[in-house]
């Protein structure tokens, strides 16, 4: 039992590190709306993955299908906002497409499998049980790829968000950085969704970065990592205490943190 | 061949012409102001000169380089100062970070501010008469922000500085200070200046070359020759007389 609890807390720390590496660049590059696309796309892709595995017995892990779906839909957002619509409209349209995929394949999976909906629900609320060794391995693998690359491109993402025309005029390849950012965000989100659920991922993507920006100018990454780990660990503890899924605990703690920030400011 | 040469440049947005048959030449050293009403294509002209947009027809050469084919070479020679409202003031960047962008964005990653970059930041800060590199960009006044953006362009040692509406959002004294700064950079460091504005009063006493633009070039030359009622009527349809303060931009609020 103690081993399982320790595993859950190690997973929480690893999730916190993964979230901490991605949350700050998301906030700094003013891409929180984009995170909305990402989480909806991952959910749609994960449920599509569950359906394809149930019907065609593909044997492809749902997080991989979720990653590919999120990547494709992110590229669609970029292309639509570059060529036709403003960014918020492009995001709204792609969220609509992702939600349509979620609704249709949730319905279809129930028609063909009695356990399908339960599997799909795991991607929404996260596992109700403590984490497995496989979860921890997946999160650590994603962390090894995502965190160093995110650190490497944070400065460029900031430049692009500050003044895109200026960045291009100085020779930055905006498209390369944007797509690399999409790829890394999609990978991290897909892996997190398969362990803590898309709802908790959605909450966690925004809060640590926002806290870091508010609390410090000198070491925002450190604050982002610490607050993400704190929210994950605290969320797991609350979940254990209240006997709810970890995503519920993370949500409660994040809401308390946000309200606390507002009260302190007032 | 002129140092800046535009030949028959045409550009359109969704089929609507923004610039039609724009041609002019400028030889170094020059201090040039492009004037025209809102929607005249001034910003589009700058974006074409920077290679951010590609002309649908015609060609642009800067210091002998074609801006589309040789965009890398052009970007090494040209510094760009965007319109202040086009930068995101909510991004938490210090003055040092903003200026470092001008040096680091030209290198390959990973991009770290070396001792040499920090020395150059100090140097350009002195040039634009600012002293606190750790100040947050978002907390500066409009004039200080403009100076930081000019410093960011200067750190790359450009031969030509392209400025988009450098007087917008500034009070008149500040506009004059920015004009004086640009003129000093032009005279002391030999940087060619091409700015677009819909008011010329802050720099008119510096006797710039004026290009009167409204989708096409209506006149080019010294202010006294260009800003005649006849020319202004062509660029500003409906104008019957030159109102007092016209060059001040009062007609645009």
CATH of the domain at B29: 3.40.50.300
Each residue of A115-129: b (16+ CB within 10 Å) or e? ebeebbbbbbbbbee
Query: In angstroms, what separates the C-alpha of B238 from chain A's closest C-alpha?
Result: 34
Per-chain mean pLDDT for chain A: 87
Q: What per-residue confidence (pLDDT) applies to B137?
A: 92
pLDDT level of residue B246 (50, 70, 90 thresholds): low
Q: What per-residue confidence (pLDDT) applies to B98?
A: 94
**Residue B251 falls within a domain, yes or no?**
no
CA angle centred on B166, ends B161 and B168, rounded to 5° = 165
Q: What is the rounded CA–CA span in Å between residue A95 and residue A89?
A: 10
**Residue B238 falls within a domain, yes or no?**
no
Residue B78 CB contacts under 8 Å (≥ 6 apart), including other chains: A169, B49, B50, B62, B158, B159, B160, B161, B162
The 10 Å Cβ neighbour count of residue B229 is 12
pLDDT digits (tens, 9 = 90+) for B39-76: 899 999 999 999 999 999 999 999 999 999 999 899 99
Q: Residue B152: its chain A contacts at CB < 8 A?
A: 166
Q: Where are the beta strands (DSSP E) in chain B?
A: 4-13, 16-26, 31-35, 57-62, 65-66, 78-81, 160-164, 192-197, 209-214, 216-222
**Residue B71 falls within a domain, yes or no?**
yes
Q: What per-residue confidence (pLDDT) applies to B251?
A: 43
Q: Which two tokens stand for residue B103?
A: 């040096």
Which of B90, B92, B105 shows the shortest C-beta gap to A167? B105
Q: What is the rounded CA–CA span in Å between residue B79 and residue B113?
A: 19
Q: What per-residue confidence (pLDDT) applies to B238?
A: 74
Closest Cα in chain B to A212: B92
Residue A24 CB contacts under 8 Å (≥ 6 apart), including other chains: A154, A208, A209, A212, A213, A220, A221, A224
pLDDT digits (tens, 9 = 90+) for B218-245: 999 998 888 888 888 888 887 776 655 5
Q: Residue A217: its chain B contacts at CB < 8 A?
A: 92, 94, 136
Query: In angstroms, what separates the C-alpha of B78 from chain A's closest C-alpha?
Result: 9
pLDDT higher than 70, residue B250: no
pLDDT higher than 80, residue A1: no
How many helices and strands, by DSSP H and E, does chain B display?
A: 8, 10
**Is the distance from CB of A224 to CB of A43 less than 8 angstroms?**
no
Does the distance separating the beta carbons of B52 and A152 come in below 8 Å? no
Average pLDDT over residues A120-149: 82
Residue A252 CB contacts under 8 Å (≥ 6 apart), including other chains: A235, A238
Q: Find where tokens 């859950």 sit.
A: A8
Q: Which two tokens stand for residue B215?
A: 């989708």
Q: What per-residue confidence (pLDDT) applies to B124?
A: 94
pLDDT higher than 60, residue B247: no
Q: Choose between A214 and B27: higher pLDDT.
A: B27
B79 half-sphere exposure, CB direction, 13 A CA radius: 24
**Residue B129 falls within a domain, yes or no?**
yes
Query: In angstroms, what separates the C-alpha of A27 from chain B's closest C-alpha?
Result: 9
Residues in chain B: 253
Number of domains in chain B: 1
Check if B170 contacts A (Cβ < 8 Å): no
Q: What per-residue confidence (pLDDT) applies to A147?
A: 94
Q: Choose between A116 and B193: higher pLDDT.
A: B193
Out of A108-122, B41-55, B182-196, pick the least confident.
Answer: A108-122
**Residue B131 falls within a domain, yes or no?**
yes
Query: In angstroms, what separates the C-alpha of A58 from chain B's closest C-alpha?
Result: 40
Each residue of A17-47: b (16+ CB within 10 Å) or e? bbbbbbbbbbbbbbbebbbbbbbbbbbbbbb
Which of A162, A175, A216 has the most B C-beta neighbours within 10 Å, making it the best mutation to test the interface with B? A162
Residue A9 CB contacts under 8 Å (≥ 6 apart), including other chains: A233, A236
**Percent of chain B with pLDDT strictly greater than 70:** 94
pLDDT higher than 80, residue A130: no
Distance of CA A221 to the CA centre of its chain: 17
pLDDT digits (tens, 9 = 90+) for A32-86: 888 888 889 999 998 999 899 888 888 888 888 999 999 999 889 888 887 888 8
**Is the distance from CB of B153 to CB of B164 less than 8 angstroms?**
no
**Percent of chain A with pLDDT strictly greater than 70:** 97
Q: What per-residue confidence (pLDDT) applies to B242?
A: 65
Helix (H/G/I), strand (E/B), else coil: B23: strand
Q: What per-residue confidence (pLDDT) applies to A129?
A: 55
pLDDT digits (tens, 9 = 90+) for B104-150: 887 777 788 889 999 999 999 999 999 899 999 999 999 999 999 99
**Is the distance from CB of A185 to CB of A37 less than 8 angstroms?**
no
Q: What is the rounded CA–CA span in Å between residue A63 and residue A49?
A: 8
Per-chain mean pLDDT for chain B: 89
**Residue B62 falls within a domain, yes or no?**
yes
Any idea where the domains of chain A sit in the sequence? 2-259
**Percent of chain A with pLDDT strictly greater than 90:** 32
pLDDT level of residue A127 (50, 70, 90 thresholds): low
Q: What is the rounded CA–CA span in Å between residue B220 and residue B198?
A: 15
Does the distance separating the beta carbons of A162 and B78 come in below 8 Å? no
Q: Choose between A106 and A197: higher pLDDT.
A: A106
Q: What is the rounded CA–CA span in Å between residue A181 and residue A158?
A: 12
Helices marked H in chain A: 2-28, 32-56, 62-83, 87-112, 116-125, 133-162, 164-169, 174-195, 198-215, 220-242, 246-265
Check if B106 contacts A (Cβ < 8 Å): yes
B110: domain range? Answer: 4-231
Among the listed residues B127, B119, B169, the one whose alpha carbon sits nearest the alpha carbon of residue B148: B127
| Residues facing B220 on adjacent strands | B211
Query: In angstroms, what separates the C-alpha of B87 from chain A's closest C-alpha?
Result: 5
Q: What per-residue confidence (pLDDT) applies to B253?
A: 35
pLDDT higher than 70, residue A128: no
Among the listed residues A246, A185, A248, the one whose alpha carbon sits nearest the alpha carbon of residue A19: A185
A2-259: what CATH class?
Answer: mainly alpha
pLDDT higher than 60, residue A176: yes
Q: What is the rounded CA–CA span in Å between residue A228 and residue A89?
A: 30
Which of A153, A161, A166 shows the shortest C-beta gap to B80? A166
Q: What per-residue confidence (pLDDT) applies to B248?
A: 46
Q: For the whole model, what pTM was predicted?
A: 0.83
Q: Residue B91: its chain A contacts at CB < 8 A?
A: 28, 30, 158, 161-162
């Amino acid at each position: 039992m103690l081993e399982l609890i320790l595993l859950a807390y190690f997973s929480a720390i690893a999730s916190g590190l993964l979230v901490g590496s991605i949350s700050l660049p998301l906030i700094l590059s003013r891409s929180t709306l984009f995170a909305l696309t990402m989480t909806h796309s991952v959910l749609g892709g994960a449920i599509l993955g569950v359906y394809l595995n149930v019907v065609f017995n593909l044997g492809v892990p749902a997080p991989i299908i979720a990653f590919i779906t999120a990547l494709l839909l992110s590229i669609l957002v970029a292309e639509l906002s570059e060529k036709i619509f403003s960014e918020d409209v492009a995001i709204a349209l792609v969220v609509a497409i992702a939600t349509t995929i979620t609704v249709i394949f949730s319905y279809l999976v129930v028609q063909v499998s009695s356990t399908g909906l339960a599997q799909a629900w795991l991607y929404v609320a996260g596992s109700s049980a403590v984490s497995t060794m496989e979860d921890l391995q997946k999160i650590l693998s994603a962390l090894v790829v995502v965190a160093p690359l995110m650190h490497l491109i944070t400065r460029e993402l900031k430049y692009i968000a500050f003044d895109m025309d200026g960045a291009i005029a100085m020779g930055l390849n905006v498209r390369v950085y944007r797509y690399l950012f999409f790829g890394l965000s999609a990978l991290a989100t897909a892996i997190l969704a398969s362990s803590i659920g898309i709802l908790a991922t959605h909450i966690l993507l925004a809060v640590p970065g926002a806290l870091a920006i508010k609390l410090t100018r000198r070491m925002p990454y450190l604050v982002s990592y610490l607050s993400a780990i704190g929210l994950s660990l605290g969320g797991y503890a609350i979940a254990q205490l209240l006997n709810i899924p970890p995503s519920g605990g993370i949500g409660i703690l994040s809401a308390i943190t946000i309200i606390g920030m507002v009260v302190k400011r007032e | 061949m002129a140092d800046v040469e535009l030949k028959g440049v045409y550009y359109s947005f969704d089929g609507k012409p923004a610039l039609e048959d724009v041609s002019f030449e400028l030889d170094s050293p020059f201090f040039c102001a492009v004037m025209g009403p809102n929607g005249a294509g001034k910003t589009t002209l700058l974006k074409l000169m920077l290679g951010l947009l590609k002309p649908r027809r015609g060609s642009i050469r800067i210091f002998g380089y074609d801006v589309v084919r040789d965009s890398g070479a052009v970007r090494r020679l040209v510094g760009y100062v965007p319109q202040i409202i086009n930068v995101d003031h909510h991004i938490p960047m210090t003055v040092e970070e903003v200026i470092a962008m001008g040096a680091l964005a030209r290198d390959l990653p990973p991009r770290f501010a070396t001792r040499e970059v920090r020395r150059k930041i100090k140097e350009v800060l002195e040039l634009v008469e600012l002293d606190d590199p750790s100040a947050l960009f978002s907390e500066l006044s409009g004039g200080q922000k403009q100076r930081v953006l000019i410093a960011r362009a200067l750190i790359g040692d450009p031969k030509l500085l392209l400025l988009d509406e450098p007087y917008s959002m500034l009070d008149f004294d500040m506009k004059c200070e920015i004009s004086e700064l640009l003129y000093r950079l032009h005279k002391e460091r030999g940087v060619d200046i091409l700015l677009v504005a819909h008011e010329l009063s802050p720099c008119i006493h510096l006797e710039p070359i004026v290009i009167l633009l409204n989708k096409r070039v209506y006149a080019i030359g010294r202010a006294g020759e260009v800003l005649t009622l006849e020319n202004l009527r062509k660029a500003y349809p409906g104008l019957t007389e030159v109102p007092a303060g016209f060059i001040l931009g009062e007609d645009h609020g």
